[in-house]
Structure 1
Amino acid sequence: MHSSLLVLLLVLFTLANVFTSYLYLYPIIHNCGFPGQPERHTPNGDIPKQIPPFRLLVLADPQLEGDSSLLNPEYGFLPHLQNLWPDVRAANTMSERLEVTGTHLRDVFTIDIPSILQSYRKRLDLIGNDYYLAHIYRTMHWTMFPTHITVLGDLIGSQWVSDEEFERRGTRYWKRVFQKGNRVEDDRTEGIHIEPLPQDGSWARRVINVPGNHDIGYAGDMTKNKMQRYERVFGKVNWETRFNLPFELQDGQDQPELKLVVLNSLNLDGPVLDRQLQTDTYNFINEVITYSRPIEDRTSATILLTHLPLHKEVGVCVDEPFIDFHGGEHGGGIREQNHLGYDSSKGILEGVFGMSGDQNAPGKGRGRKGIILTGHDHEGCDVYHHLPDAEDAESRTWTAEKWNSSTTERQAAIPGVREVTVRSMMGDFGGNAGLLSAWFDPDTREWQFDYATCALRKQHIWWAVHVLDIVTIVLLNYVGWSIFRSTPNGPKPGTEKEKTL
């Protein structure tokens, strides 16, 4: 055997080991991790950095595609070839028959065969994309040890698919992408569910799904059928659960409470196609507000999970404010939007989070502690919504600014809440994952939040590494068999031993 083949095998084997190790250990190699609970200084000595009790793995916009990009079986395998003989028989002259034959054969090679090859390529691409997304989820799960997992909408790629195709994509979602993940049980999403903040991993396999526009449609497209099939496969569109943190309390104190609120924000603005669905969403918001602890109770905090980002001025994020309507402006309902409208955003900030900036209001207008996580804008964004100072307090309007280190210092003085629009986990956006930590600070008796990101890089890396692994395995087997054949005790060509083998 030629020595150059052994050298090639050694090079490929080394590269395959290095890149495969990177692919399966990339969160550790990139030094990813949930932000830690900071070191505390106490009279009895310093308490070192701790692992937060709540660690949420945040994924956004996987957008599973499907049969719309594959070969349509109604057209047949080679439609132009199938139509050749009937069209030839219908021709009147030999010259017409020859012309029809030439046209059909040309279409077979220029249309049918390329369509078949494109269909198989797309089918392979869909399978590869599923496993690429699955790799992100699986690798982040076993290296980062989250306590909870959420996907912030656009679970599939189109709200216009048939019910059968919706079921197929749902099966791929659960059986391939989020294998071993579970839909949150209905009894945990009915009414107000309260339980201790789990540390036994019982929530680590429950995937908290948030409805996106590609799942149920925008306000002008949303129907009861789309809502029902989504809730059957992925879970309810509006629900909340509350986690109590076991904590040493003094008399009269409540246990620290962390509220997880899943909100369908897609029909908050109008016009809407189905008014009852919009009423259901607003009734849910009112229930969240009504049954919350008092605004001045800082031991409670809210994590709001929704798809559409809140309103922001032009230039703050990649997506700018935009709403389009069926049939022109304010026609038959919302067809598309980048952000919630200003009034809907204000309603969330002042309703769900109770922020007003009014010093005479309960809690001095600071509102409830919390954080907002959204999807939709695939590029991602990180902002702080607040009420800036003004001479006339009633004329103040909500504004958003980029989140940075100085924002943290200003939070105590300026009422507001952080919103993280999570960058998409799709390959074109780097296979991103978000890491949200939450912990209760016993000194301030308030919940604290911190957020980090971790990215695999584009899907081409996943493909390249697996192709390299396959080539290396094939070459390794070829070299191994060649060495075996060339040994004194190995089979010789044409011998009875070889035939037996």
Structure 2
Amino acid sequence: MRLSLFLLRISSVLLPLAILSTTYLYLYPLFHRCGFPAPPRNNSHGFDQCEFQNESLKEYYKDGSSAPFRLLALADPQLEGDTSLPEPVEYEFPGLKKILWDLRGGDWEGIKDALVVGVEDIIADLGSVLKYMRKQVDLVGNDYYLAHIYRTLHWYTKPTHVTVLGDLLGSQWIGDEEFEIRRWRFWNRVFRGSSLPEKGKLVDYKVDEEGEGEEKPIPTVETLGQEDWTRRIINLAGNHDIGYAGDIDESRIARFEAAFGPVNGDIHFTLPSAGLCNAPASSPNNNPNNDTTDTPTLRLIVLNSMNLDVPALTPTLQSNTYTFINNLMSHSSPVETHTTSTILLTHIPLHKEAGTCADSPFFAFFPSQEGSGIKEQNMISADLSKSAILQGIYGMSPESNAVMRGLGRAGIVLTGHDHVGCDVYHYADRENGTWNAKVWTSEEAQVVAREEDTPGLREVTLRSMMGEFGGNAGLVSAWWDGDVGRWRIEVSTCSAGVQHIWWAVHVLDLLVVLIAGAAGVAYAFEIRGGNGTVRHNTSHRKPAVKLKK
């Protein structure tokens, strides 16, 4: 059988498999039926009669088939770099040097042993070279694998907002040069075409020390659909970005914020208020006091939870976080108001009892000579989960004599850190004055969530988007339910599959191309006889007949 025909038969077998696998890979959200949760068809949002001039507002509020707020949430990409590479190979080859030395000295007896050692050196060094090169290729491939998840889901699901829930990078200990390399990879490979939110949109309530007496910042209020957030990435700081409380310092915070945005932030997204259906947005002219009490409002909070717990290496940075939380509460709507719902984005999950999720409560500390600060933690402590988050930001309380019986504000918490992921419901035990957490899908959690007199809050810890965890993503939808006068928030997830699938599909595609190309080259040689001249097949010709005179 001719080589070209053999190669063509191989490619004809592999080609359909390559087409099917590539189609699956680039349309995996379709095959997995991924999508943002949608409002029910009979959902009443109260804007049916509005004549919107803004095209995006028309899509969000007039059509009704999709939620006005759709958040694509990704967790823990952890871009690795030089810290994950093996040591560069040093080509010493001592065995070969010994051979040369023996040859010069005429020691023929030692040459045989030296030759064995030299070959072993070559094999060992070549193995190290291949390992080093493989890891470098793996880093590039991982970038494009993560980019494939973001690009495919962004194209298919059409989010209105995007967030990465911390651990953007693989280590807080890297130097500035390596940090810059990974920053470039983040923005130019993984999230190519995206950018940070406009400066000042996520208000962090910082007031300069010399700014005593100056007016404190107020939260930004923006109408959903007024501006395009689809390519703006809201980044959170994780332990691999700035460290835990025991090793966070001003320089790590500064370089993170310069590259990825503020570690704390607050913004309010509103639906058009009554009588403003034709207005393009809420603005200082039509909302001079940023008063959103009677306007359906989604509050998006970015919280640096890395230094909530004590002890911390830099008390002033921890104080900034506490000040931010206090200012959040001062800018919060009253708990009696149900028109606002709060989405809290933070890296470290809230406290849960051991066995609830894959991770259990865990704290480790630096030795006293290194500051005694927190070196590692799996969750926020029980006290701060309660005082800073549940009772602070959300205004909930187990005490029935608290304002509005302690029911607090509506919303959801989205976290990362725990790579396996977890979905729980935190609720108050009024009898014992404590907080409990149960898996969201459990019967107990569902029963408690339906109880109107029990304070509770859902927390979704997203599974990592890293390949070994299946390339996971969260799809968070929020819409206004006019029938009950409250926001509805629903979450679904979508998995791309382990990174080996991505590699296998692209290797198969490349293999098909190479085999088809090789078949073409082989065919060209065959028809030219392999010597540069066209070979004519004369085997079928009859011998010439000699005519008689």
TM superposition shift of 1:150: 0.6
In the superposition, the TM-score normalised over structure 1's length comes to 0.88
| Equivalent residue, structure 1, for 2:52 | none
* Alpha carbons of structure 1 residues 37 and 405: separation in structure 2 relative to 1, 3 Å: farther
1:169-248 to 2 correspondence within 5 Å? 169-190=182-203, 191=205, 192-199=218-225, 202-248=228-274
Which of the residues 432, 441, 447 maps onto 1:404?
Answer: 441
Q: Deviations over 1:380-436 (max 9, x none)?
A: 00000111241xxxx411111110275355332321100000000011111101101
Separation in 1, partners of 2:243, 2:440: 30
* Alpha carbons of structure 1 residues 164 and 81: separation in structure 2 relative to 1, 3 Å: farther
1:108-119 to 2 correspondence within 5 Å? 108-109=121-122, 111-119=124-132
Separation in 2, partners of 1:335, 1:377: 16
Separation in 1, partners of 2:188, 2:225: 26
| Equivalent residue, structure 2, for 1:34 | 36
| Equivalent residue, structure 1, for 2:77 | 62
Separation in 1, partners of 2:514, 2:326: 62
| Equivalent residue, structure 1, for 2:322 | 282
* Alpha carbons of structure 1 residues 253 and 399: separation in structure 2 relative to 1, 3 Å: closer
* Contact 2:162–2:230 (Cα < 8 Å) also in 1: yes
| Equivalent residue, structure 1, for 2:472 | 432
Which of the residues 511, 516, 525 maps onto 1:471?
Answer: 511
> Secondary structure in 2 aligned to 1:170?
helix
Separation in 1, partners of 2:31, 2:68: 24
TM superposition shift of 1:99: 12
TM superposition shift of 1:83: 11
Gaps of 5+ in 2: 49-61, 206-217, 277-291, 536-549
* Alpha carbons of structure 1 residues 84 and 170: separation in structure 2 relative to 1, 3 Å: farther
TM superposition shift of 1:365: 1.2
* Alpha carbons of structure 1 residues 120 and 405: separation in structure 2 relative to 1, 3 Å: same
TM superposition shift of 1:188: 1.5
> Secondary structure in 1 aligned to 2:507?
helix
Which of the residues 150, 163, 167 maps onto 2:163?
Answer: 150
TM superposition shift of 1:270: 0.9
Identity across the alignment (%): 47
Separation in 2, partners of 1:13, 1:236: 48
Gaps of 5+ in 1: none
* Contact 2:266–2:302 (Cα < 8 Å) also in 1: yes
Greater mean deviation of Cα atoms: 409-418 or 224-233: 409-418
* Contact 2:399–2:433 (Cα < 8 Å) also in 1: no
Alignment pair present for 1:164 and 2:177: yes
> Secondary structure in 2 aligned to 1:265?
coil
In the superposition, the TM-score normalised over structure 2's length comes to 0.81
| Equivalent residue, structure 2, for 1:292 | 332
Higher Rg: 2
* Alpha carbons of structure 1 residues 11 and 286: separation in structure 2 relative to 1, 3 Å: same
Which of the residues 268, 272, 275 maps onto 2:308?
Answer: 268
TM superposition shift of 1:253: 6.7
TM superposition shift of 1:295: 1.3
Name the amino acid aligned to 1:16. A
TM superposition shift of 1:179: 0.6
Name the amino acid aligned to 2:383. D
* Alpha carbons of structure 1 residues 189 and 100: separation in structure 2 relative to 1, 3 Å: farther
> Secondary structure in 1 aligned to 2:476?
strand
Which of the residues 336, 342, 351 maps onto 2:376?
Answer: 336
Separation in 1, partners of 2:322, 2:184: 31
| Equivalent residue, structure 2, for 1:254 | 294
Q: Deviations over 1:47-76 (max 9, x none)?
A: 997311000011001111101233545xx6
* Contact 2:96–2:114 (Cα < 8 Å) also in 1: no
Q: Deviations over 1:414-465 (max 9, x none)?
A: 2110000000001111110110111111111111110001001110000000
> Secondary structure in 2 aligned to 1:451?
strand
Separation in 2, partners of 1:117, 1:213: 32
Greater mean deviation of Cα atoms: 5-14 or 336-345: 5-14
Which of the residues 135, 142, 147 maps onto 1:134?
Answer: 147
* Alpha carbons of structure 1 residues 41 and 378: separation in structure 2 relative to 1, 3 Å: closer
| Equivalent residue, structure 2, for 1:367 | 408
Separation in 2, partners of 1:126, 1:313: 36
| Equivalent residue, structure 1, for 2:486 | 446
Q: Deviations over 1:54-112 (max 9, x none)?
A: 00011001111101233545xx6414559959x979xx9989x9899779847733643
Greater mean deviation of Cα atoms: 29-38 or 49-58: 49-58
* Contact 2:7–2:518 (Cα < 8 Å) also in 1: no
* Contact 2:147–2:189 (Cα < 8 Å) also in 1: yes
* Contact 1:34–1:436 (Cα < 8 Å) also in 2: yes
* Alpha carbons of structure 1 residues 477 and 416: separation in structure 2 relative to 1, 3 Å: same
> Secondary structure in 2 aligned to 1:410?
helix
Greater mean deviation of Cα atoms: 365-374 or 399-408: 399-408
* Alpha carbons of structure 1 residues 492 and 83: separation in structure 2 relative to 1, 3 Å: closer
* Alpha carbons of structure 1 residues 329 and 384: separation in structure 2 relative to 1, 3 Å: farther
| Equivalent residue, structure 1, for 2:68 | 53
TM superposition shift of 1:358: 3.3
TM superposition shift of 1:364: 2.5
* Alpha carbons of structure 1 residues 313 and 329: separation in structure 2 relative to 1, 3 Å: farther
| Equivalent residue, structure 2, for 1:382 | 423
Separation in 2, partners of 1:292, 1:114: 60
Greater mean deviation of Cα atoms: 429-438 or 401-410: 401-410
Separation in 1, partners of 2:426, 2:442: 15
* Alpha carbons of structure 1 residues 367 and 17: separation in structure 2 relative to 1, 3 Å: same
Separation in 1, partners of 2:442, 2:490: 12
Separation in 1, partners of 2:132, 2:344: 40
> Secondary structure in 1 aligned to 2:332?
coil
* Alpha carbons of structure 1 residues 492 and 144: separation in structure 2 relative to 1, 3 Å: same
